[in-house]
Amino acid sequence: DLKPIIDRLNAKRGKLEKEIVKLNSMLQSEKFINKAPKDVVRYNQNKLKEAHQTLDKVQSSLASIT
């Protein structure tokens, strides 16, 4: 039965989508960009990139299952 796998992937997708929204808002904030240390900004940019890549993999997995 694939339902548990699909449920797990959907939950992961939801978590990643929330993380992407949070990171996007943070990185689009001029106040954050100007006040945060450059390494913190870079770290969050990398986290955003990784979240997008993981989301793509999750969506591909869901597409291949359903």
CA distance linking residue 61 with residue 3, whole number of Å: 13
What was the pLDDT predicted at 42?
98
58: helix, coil or strand? helix
Whether the per-residue pLDDT at 66 is higher than 90: the answer is no
Instruction: Give this prediction's pTM.
Output: 0.90
Tokens 């954050």: give the residue. Answer: 32
What was the pLDDT predicted at 44?
98
pLDDT tens figures, 8-53 = 999 999 999 999 999 999 999 999 999 999 999 999 999 999 999 9
What was the pLDDT predicted at 65?
92
